[in-house]
Structure 1
Amino acid sequence: MSCTFRSTTKQGQYRLPCRVQWNDPGAQYVLVEKEKLPRFPFSIDQEGNIYVTQPLDQEEKEAYVFYAVAKDDDGKPLAFPLEVHVTVEDINDNPPTCPSAVTVFEVQENEKLGSNIGTFTAHDLDKENTPNSLLTYQIVEQVPQIPVDGLFLVEKFEGKFQLGKQSLKKQDAAQYNVTVEVSDKDFKTLCLVQINVIDINDQIPIFEKSDYGNLTLAEDKGVGSTILIIRATDADEPLTGSSKILYRIIEGDSEGRLEVDTDPQTNVGYVKIKKPLDFETAPISHIVFQAENPEPLVSGVTYNASSQAGFWLIVTDVNEAPVFSQPTFQATVSEDAPVGTKVGNVTAKDPEGLDVSYSLSGDKRGWLRIDSTTGDIFTKALLDREAESVYRVQVVATERGRSSLRSTSDFHLILQDVNDNPPRLAKEYTGLFFCYPLTAPGSHVFEATDDDQMSFRGHHFTFSLGSESLKKDWDVSKINGSHARLSTKHTNFEEKVYDISIRINDGGRPPMEGTVSLPVTFCSCVEGRCFRPAGRQSGIPTLGTAVAILLITFLVIGIILAVVFIRIKKNKNKNNVEDAQAPEATPLRS
């Protein structure tokens, strides 16, 4: 069974246009929920009439389904439950609502008439696509009404906003507050729309004056100095890309000597020296500035002469020191170059065109000389890469005449190595020893090196004994390119120091050979360590000699003490004799 009831928000009991009835009298009627609801707004009387007991809201629930049951006096069902469908019809009980407290649209200054600014959409909780939810829109107020009222239009049913009379200018008003009346067939609601006007770059910067006159500066004016302040203004919105001004030098400074910094708050331009000025190359220049915006101009607007200004820069001459063609000069030469070899050349020019004289400074080893007129550099002594692989000196250029100003540059002479150093021992070997008496042949390892570069050493030293006489007692054998082993050939050695001469060849081009001496000591040992040098080792006394020296020392000390004792005794006796011969003293009388 189906029933239809119009929604209502009023309290009270309303009879539905539907009724249930059992054929036999005395039946009891009850309603049973088909679904569990927060509230069940229906009841039934004993006549089978169904009532609405609470307000219904179509927006809350559009339909209800429940059962009507007929029971006898004992509460037993008389038949199967009857399913009841109640449909709630919508009524216009909800006013339109605004989408937000304030709806914000933006529009550029140059928007054309009829341009779509945005769509305003209100809401209605009544059933969609029915006359109860059909909304209409109307603008009822514009604030401010500048330059005229009615600047905006809104489409009646869709809510589209458009420009209605003319394009906007932010100078007139930066913001408009528009009140929109939204209506359905019974209700009206007022909503607020805020329209912000966005500035566009339709104004060019204009200089306060086009000619900043003449500016005279000495050519040694410091880099970074501010030499001029310029200013242009822009009528676009302040502190935006449309009104910010950048100054560009478009004429008269091809060398990039100047730059302009802009104060972002005031748009004031500070002209500064970026590179040193030069009287000799640009004594007079006409500098022209262009004032521009970071944001591009709108179509149809271009920069013109109002955005340009200039001044005359006059540079005066200052006596300047010579200038080297480069800050550092470098040359390479073999370390065995003969004295008088030309190794390089330096050049410097005086800005005023004066002649330049060259000299050297810091030539601590006295290896070089320079031609004072040409700047050619020669060796004046033999070079040595092992002493200094890169020889650094300073070249001084002095102008001839006037104030004799000077400037300096570095000269680096790189020395290429030649094989001019014989091999030598890598360290001093003073602790080589064998325990005496030698019970079995032994050996010691030693290392060789030289002062030349690796490429000349070849890493392949060869080793041999320094004389034929050593071969009967000793043997030297190569371990690798830098190490060798000195070995005894027998055990019959004396307790002393042996100096073994060894020849070491580096195999270079040309080969270099050095003879070194390895001292090897045969000595008595205690727990594997040399107790003392051999008895006849030069410069070291034996035990007997040490005892004799000690006895002699004691003897000398005894003689000295005896002499001193005798002299003291003689002096004492002499004093006694003198006392006996002295006259007897006469007492004083008054």
Structure 2
Amino acid sequence: MLCFFLLCCLSSATCSEALSRQRRSWIIDSFTIEEEHPGPFPYVLGKVNIERDYRVYFDLYGEGVDEEPRGVLSIHKDSGTIYVHKAVDYEERTMLKLQFEARTTDLSIDTKLGVEITIQDINDNPPHFQKDLYEISVKEEDVQGSHLLTVVASDRDQKGTANSTFHYEIKAVSPNTPDTEFVIEKTGAISFKGCLDHDAADMFTILVEAKDHGEVVKLSSSTTVVIHVQDGNNHLPSISGQTGSGKVKEGEIGFSPLRLHVTDKDTPHTPAWRARFTVHADEGGHFIIETDPDSNDGILKVVKALDFEEGAQRELSISVENELPYFSCQVKGKRSSGLWIVDTIRDSDPGAAQPHSVKVIINVEDTNDPPVFSVAVKEATVEENTPIGTWVEKVTAVDPDSSQARDFVYKVGNDPAGWVTVDPHTGDITTVKTPDRESSHVVNDVYTVLLHAVDKGEPPMTGTATLQIHVTDQNDNTPQPVETYLYVCMSDDPIATNITAFDLDENPFGGPFTFELLGDVRGKWKLNPSYGYTAGLVKEPSVYAGPHTVGVKISDTQGEFGVYNLSVTVCDCSVTGNCRTRRHSATRAASGAIGIVFASLVLLLFLLLMAVVCSCKNEFITLETISSGQTLLESNTEKPGTDCQVLDSVLTGSSEKKRRDSTTVHDRMQHTEFSKELRQSFRSRHSIKVDDRRENHLNLLADNCKQTTWNPFTANDYDHTHQYKDMGTLTSFNQTNSHVLDDTLRTLLHRKLSALQEMEDEMLDDELHMYADEGESHNLSELEAIAIAPDDTTFLKALQELDPKFNQLASICKPPHIQN
């Protein structure tokens, strides 16, 4: 078994000497080791012969010696014999590469050879499958020749040799049925011939072998294939019976009058077994049939109410089939090669068996039906504002059980505003309230009422109808402004704001509208335009800042009109962006000012109370009894005290004090209201911008007019044992002197306002004020006319014309230097 070729170079003695001085190499051809050699070991693999005239020693290095796999080879140092010490495996290593060296006695290298030892393969590996067990599920209706699965095996022996070449073979099939045969291809693909029958075998176990083609020995291995056959629908279901009354009451839904029973030889609770029912000849769609998942029964249910009058019986046809389509397979002949002859049937094929069906009868039982109105939705037309008792419409109902009119009781079911009533016997509908088209219950000019008809059956049944009353319009609403508070900015040029109107009535009783200004508006206000849905209110430059009232008449297309007073505020928009912003700011400022004024009033009342308590009580003067039918209670009059100057500090003069002491509570309220209007008129006409402090001065002035009004009947020192017997006397007394008090109050306000104007120079932090331009004094305003104070002669004359009792009352708190 030893084969090698030795290549050498022969030379002379000189060459020999040169050989000892330099290295020469030889290459020896491959040795061959058979894998898995049984031994005994060691055995001789071969011998290396080198012809030399001198002695050499042999060494071997590399794979199988001092490299993996170690300890396989060795060499005799003197003879060059190579020994094998153990078996090798071709599947682990196909070749061993080594180095052979020959050394002289001085250990120098004489010869160096490369050695390749080939490991010879033997058939020691059988084919190996990727899996020990293959398992799949197939459908019973799969046709023959269908690919089921593929098994795969491999051999580790040398490729391309007989040792690694193998084939597949089915060794056994269990159970072995006559109508099914399994086939495996060279590739390992498995298919079948014939038919799969779940009833004959629901599972097949196949033993597949892979065997190699080794020359010395043939090796093989096997795997197991398990095929589960799913049950197909190869048995048609059939209806075997029915249970239930087969009766249903008319008008009843959700009731089950019948249950159908089914038999099927397929595997229970599979799609091939589960039944699916169909209802035929069901005109109107009154029935459905459901499948009981446990028993596979068909449950018939009523889903739409039946009417006895349409028929006392319903004849239905019910068929049954499975969820899976029907399929059958029969072997008609077997061939030695190729597929067999089989006969397959599907439910879609011509001539296939039809689903099983049965006929059932459902009896409809008569019940008391509710009355039915001849018209379910009836319409009527009524003009709004028609008188109560107006006939609207008439409704009638019939009995479905007899198709004739019967004695029903008619009722109003839902009447949102309570407009109508219905005669319970005739069905005549009349009004009990006046219809109003603008009512919130009228939608799109329609008022809806629900009506009922109740029969006298057992139990009583109720029918319902809808009455839609179309309410026609009348011109019963006047036009109205959208806003009654308007704002306009000061300007040297005419400037306008919009007046927008609306009318609850519809055409032709609504807009467009005609606008007309009322009162003396010449040179102040005008309209442009004055016709349409919005008019322009134009402010002339002569209109001063402040609040104004503008009367406007708004007429619709039919001449119906409304008169309104619009509150128009004119303000300076150069300070604030618009009048609305300024109004809001003023409102917030006024809230704080009200608190300050209220606190001032409380303090003033406290001072007045202290003044009265501290008043002198030296002498009481008895009041004279008033004659001519006017009766007063006699009362002592307290003489002036020493602290009367507290009141004088509030008043401006003795004459004003006398006049204010004579006012009653009613007069004080009138004067307070007048003072507010006067302050506003004064500021507006003279274009004075009054800051918060000056506003407080004006408020204090008005409060002084009210607080310092002296009423002797409420003084603390008044003797309650003497009272007026007739309060009407005091009322008459006040009415007689009211015109004098008005003139006096105007004088007081004029003086206070003049003093306020003189204080402006001292208020350095005040705003600038705008007054009328020079040259306009010939055009006096109302405020200027009012502010002209009467002279002293007229004032004293007015005092002398007062009733004597007023002088006695006014002298109570008269300063000492005036009393004399």
TM-score normalized by the length of structure 2: 0.53
- 2: CA distance, partners of 1:378 / 1:19: 140
**Counterpart secondary structure, 1:225:** coil
Change (3 A) 1:205 1:151: closer
Alignment of 1:225 with 2:255, yes or no, is: yes
Counterpart residue number, 2:522: 471
Counterpart residue number, 2:808: none
Tell me the amino acid that sits aligned with residue 30 of structure 2. Answer: S
Counterpart residue number, 1:384: 437
Residue deviations 1:477-526 (CA, integer Å, cap 9, x gap):
78997696674743679x9x8542124568xx66875432024699xx99
- 2: CA distance, partners of 1:552 / 1:441: 56
Whether the 8 Å CA contact 1:361–1:393 is kept in 2: the answer is: no
Whether the 8 Å CA contact 2:455–2:462 is kept in 1: the answer is: no
Counterpart residue number, 2:797: none
Q: Which of 355, 373, 378 lines up with 2:405 in the alignment?
A: 355
Q: Which of 244, 266, 271 lines up with 2:274 in the alignment?
A: 244
How many pairs align? 544
Would you tell me which structure has more strand in proportion to its own residues?
A: 1
- 2: CA distance, partners of 1:526 / 1:348: 66
Change (3 A) 1:290 1:527: closer
Q: Which of 544, 547, 551 lines up with 2:711 in the alignment?
A: 551
Whether the 8 Å CA contact 2:397–2:405 is kept in 1: the answer is: no
**Counterpart secondary structure, 1:500:** strand
Q: Is there any run of 5+ residues in structure 1 with no aligned partner, and where?
A: 565-590
Change (3 A) 1:559 1:521: farther
Whether the 8 Å CA contact 1:417–1:452 is kept in 2: the answer is: no
Counterpart residue number, 2:320: 291
Alignment of 1:79-90 (within 5 A): 82-90=113-121
Counterpart residue number, 1:234: 264
Whether the 8 Å CA contact 1:212–1:311 is kept in 2: the answer is: no
Residue deviations 1:215-234 (CA, integer Å, cap 9, x gap):
2332133x112222211021
Counterpart residue number, 2:206: 178
Q: Which of 345, 369, 374 lines up with 1:300 in the alignment?
A: 345
Counterpart residue number, 2:156: 125
Whether the 8 Å CA contact 1:19–1:49 is kept in 2: the answer is: yes
Q: Which of 442, 449, 456 lines up with 1:394 in the alignment?
A: 449
Q: Is there any run of 5+ residues in structure 2 with no aligned partner, and where?
A: 1-28, 328-343, 571-585, 595-671, 679-698, 725-820
**Counterpart secondary structure, 1:319:** coil
Change (3 A) 1:447 1:42: farther
Is the deviation greater in 111-120 or in 341-350? Answer: 341-350
Identity %: 23
Change (3 A) 1:516 1:279: same
**Counterpart secondary structure, 1:238:** coil
Counterpart residue number, 2:89: 57
Q: What is the Cα deviation at residue 242 of structure 1?
A: 0.9
Is the deviation greater in 375-384 or in 120-129? Answer: 375-384
Whether the 8 Å CA contact 2:508–2:558 is kept in 1: the answer is: no
Q: What is the Cα deviation at residue 351 of structure 1?
A: 2.4
Change (3 A) 1:349 1:472: same
Alignment of 1:512-531 (within 5 A): 514-519=562-567
Would you tell me which structure has more helix in proportion to its own residues?
A: 2
**Counterpart secondary structure, 2:675:** coil
Residue deviations 1:287-330 (CA, integer Å, cap 9, x gap):
22111111111153658688223321111221201346998x49
Q: What is the Cα deviation at residue 447 of structure 1?
A: 6.0
Tell me the amino acid that sits aligned with residue 404 of structure 2. Answer: L
Change (3 A) 1:405 1:510: same
Counterpart residue number, 1:273: 302
Alignment of 1:140-539 (within 5 A): 140-144=171-175, 152-154=181-183, 161=190, 163=192, 167-184=195-212, 185-209=217-241, 215-221=246-252, 223-251=253-281, 253-298=282-327, 299-300=344-345, 307-323=356-372, 329=377, 350-352=399-401, 353-355=403-405, 360-365=412-417, 382-385=435-438, 387-390=440-443, 391-398=446-453, 405-411=461-467, 421-427=477-483, 429=485, 448-450=500-502, 452=504, 465-467=517-519, 469-474=520-525, 487=539, 489-490=541-542, 499-504=549-554, 514-519=562-567, 534-535=674-675
- 2: CA distance, partners of 1:553 / 1:492: 44
**Counterpart secondary structure, 1:560:** coil
Is the deviation greater in 239-248 or in 120-129? Answer: 120-129
- 1: CA distance, partners of 2:544 / 2:209: 130
Change (3 A) 1:484 1:279: same
**Counterpart secondary structure, 1:103:** strand
Whether the 8 Å CA contact 1:354–1:400 is kept in 2: the answer is: no
Change (3 A) 1:550 1:310: farther
- 2: CA distance, partners of 1:17 / 1:511: 142
Q: What is the Cα deviation at residue 243 of structure 1?
A: 0.8
- 1: CA distance, partners of 2:506 / 2:34: 109
Alignment of 1:19-58 (within 5 A): 19=48, 25-26=55-56, 28-32=58-62, 39=69, 43=73, 45=75, 46=77, 55-58=87-90
Counterpart residue number, 2:768: none
Whether the 8 Å CA contact 1:215–1:313 is kept in 2: the answer is: yes
Whether the 8 Å CA contact 2:527–2:535 is kept in 1: the answer is: no
**Counterpart secondary structure, 1:535:** helix
Change (3 A) 1:178 1:326: farther
**Counterpart secondary structure, 2:345:** coil
- 2: CA distance, partners of 1:68 / 1:382: 131
Q: What is the Cα deviation at residue 152 of structure 1?
A: 4.1
- 2: CA distance, partners of 1:345 / 1:62: 114
- 1: CA distance, partners of 2:536 / 2:157: 109
Counterpart residue number, 1:104: 135
Alignment RMSD? 5.5
Which of the pair has the greater relative contact order for Cα pairs under 8 Å at 6+ separation?
Answer: 1
Q: What is the Cα deviation at residue 197 of structure 1?
A: 1.9
Q: What is the Cα deviation at residue 276 of structure 1?
A: 0.6
Counterpart residue number, 1:572: none
Whether the 8 Å CA contact 1:62–1:87 is kept in 2: the answer is: yes
Q: What is the Cα deviation at residue 259 of structure 1?
A: 1.2
Counterpart residue number, 1:91: 122
Counterpart residue number, 2:626: none
Q: What is the Cα deviation at residue 283 of structure 1?
A: 1.4
